[in-house]
Every structure is written in structure tokens, then in C-alpha cells.
Amino acid sequence: MAVRAFAQTAVGDVVGPRTVPVGRATLVQYAAASGDQNPIHQDESFARSVGLPDVIAHGMWTMGAVGSVVEEWAGDGGRVVEFGTRFTKPVVVPQSGSQVEVTGVVKTLDGGSRRATLELTATSGGDKVLGRCLAVVQLD
Amino acid sequence: MAVNADFVGRTYPPSGPYPVSPQALAAFASAVGSTDPVHTSQEAAREAGYRDVIAPPTFAVTLAQECDRQFIEDPEAGVDFTRVVHGEQRFVHHRPITAGDEVLGTLTVDAVRQAGGHAMVTTRIELATTGGEALCTSTSTIVIRGGE
């Protein structure tokens, strides 16, 4: 992949949109890869017993999935130098699966450092699941 | 039980070292749907200028959560883990975490706040190699839900 060039990037450029599917198997895979084995992300009856509507995705899975969209835009995952978010709503994952819609926009560009700040939006079932999600990308 | 505000400013001894394997990076990349070959192909990573395969942008959480245990499982801190929700997460990368790194994490409790019956705790973990090279600053805010 080629790293995105500063000269070819403008404020207002759109990132995505991407539709990311998420199923129970995705969460089992993320739990194993991340070490976060909290049963609310895998066990429907446990999730309901603590007052959740169903199994919910790990917030960090959602953030990670958005990170994958950002690194695809950047052209190299190592160029994502800052990345932060608030977790505003859970991604509910019924047995039939769910999806997350990811889009973003270039908010600011810094000519000195050749860095772009992206604002990302992630929604699932019509709800914004992340808030104030910002990534800084080091461009070429 | 309220979170102990006396913990603000406390820094724990470094935890680790945590070895970073290419298998762990590839498994994490796959789990978050990344297709960037810098996480899976040594050749692609070297072409991009890295020593070996590198971590996806949020992989650092796997190391940070190990360090967080020191605080969350500290009985004196008063955190009821069954009531914890992740509120906010931020990473500042100093250089990409790379396969072969041996990582130490140093945890500092930055803030403890009470609001609306909930407690919010912000912890900061400085990840660095055993050689002292800075890798990532991971800042996390957890919400401990109040009420019964």
C-alpha cells in the first residue's frame, strides 16, 4: 500500500464509508486475540442477567475496527500516531449478527508536521457508538 | 464502596516485560478486520521501513490492560470490577510496537472523579521497551457504575 501524500490531502476529504460486519464469532476471535474474556461479549444469558439487551461488542473491538479503516486510508498502519475515542453506546450483537458503519472526514491539516486529524463516526442500528473519535495520521 | 481518591498521582512499579510476538500481532490484526500487510508480512513491514511486523493502532490495549490489573485488583483502590464500563481510550504512539519488542508498562492514576453516583478513574500507562525506548502512551477512563 502507498502512504497517503500530504500534497494530495485536503480538509473535508471523506474517509470510507465502510460497513464492517460483526458476529458472535468476531467477538470470540477478538476476546482470544485481546485477552478480554468478559462474558458480556460472548454469553447471551450472562449479558441479559446483568441488564444488557443482548451480547455487546467489546468497545475496544469497535475502536479497533475503526482503526482498520483509518490505516487503510493512511496506507500504512504505522502512520496512525494518535487515536482516541469515547464509548457512547454499545454495539448490540444478536445471534444473527450486526454491523458497524464507519465514516470519517479530514478536520485539520498541519503543514509543518504533515499530519492530518480525522474525525471518525461509527454507528450501529442507527446509534452513534463512538463519540469524539479522533485519529492523527502522519502523511508523506 | 467509593473509589479511593488518595490514589490520584500514584505510580506503580513497571509491570512486564511482555514479549511481542508476530503471531499475537497477526491474530489481533485479523480480529479487528485489518488487511494491512505491515502486521502480517515481514517483507511488507521492511519495505515500509520497519524492523519487523508492527502492531495495529489499538493493539497496545492488550499490554495496557495487563498493567491496569495492578490498580483495578488493588483491594485498597476500591474498584468493583463487576461494575466497570470502559468510558474513554486514547493512544499516542511514539513509535510502532514491533515484533520482538520486550515491553514494560508503568501505570499512573491520573484522576478519580465522582459524578452522578458513578466514579470515573483515568489511568495512564507509559509503554516502553526494556531498553527504555518510548512506545506508546495509553490513557483510559473507566466508569464504575454506582447505585444498587
Question: Which tens digits make up the pLDDT trace of B20-55?
Answer: 999 999 999 999 999 999 999 999 999 999 999 999
In a domain, A123, yes or no: yes
Q: Do B120 and B87 form a contact (C-beta atoms < 8 A)?
A: yes
In a domain, A99, yes or no: yes
In a domain, A74, yes or no: yes
Q: Domain of residue A91: give its range.
A: 6-22+57-138
In a domain, A65, yes or no: yes
In a domain, A39, yes or no: no
Query: What does the alpha-carbon distance between residue A62 and residue A65 come to, in Å, rounded to a whole number?
Result: 5
Question: Which tens digits make up the pLDDT trace of A78-136?
Answer: 999 999 999 999 999 999 999 999 999 999 999 999 999 999 999 999 999 999 999 99
CB pairs under 8 A between A and B: 111
Query: What does the alpha-carbon distance between residue A135 and residue B54 come to, in Å, rounded to a whole number?
Result: 18
In a domain, A35, yes or no: no
Give the pTM: 0.97
**β-pair partners for B92:** A82, B137
Number of domains into which chain A is organized: 1
In a domain, A98, yes or no: yes
Q: Give the lowest-confidence range in A7-11, A35-39, B2-6, B52-56.
A: B2-6
ipTM above 0.95, yes or no: yes
Contacts of B80 in chain A (CB under 8 A): none
Share of chain B above pLDDT 90, in %: 80
Q: Give the lowest-confidence range in B77-81, B107-111, B122-126.
A: B77-81
Structural domains of chain B, ranges and CATH numbers in brackets: 10-144 (3.10.129.10)
Residue (of B87, B103, B107) closest to B8 by Cα position: B107
What CATH code is carried by the domain that includes residue A13?
3.10.129.10
Question: For residue B1, what pLDDT band results from cuts at 50, 70 and 90?
Answer: low
Q: Do B57 and A70 form a contact (C-beta atoms < 8 A)?
A: yes
Between positions 91 and 110 of B, the ones with CB within 8 A of A are 91-93, 96
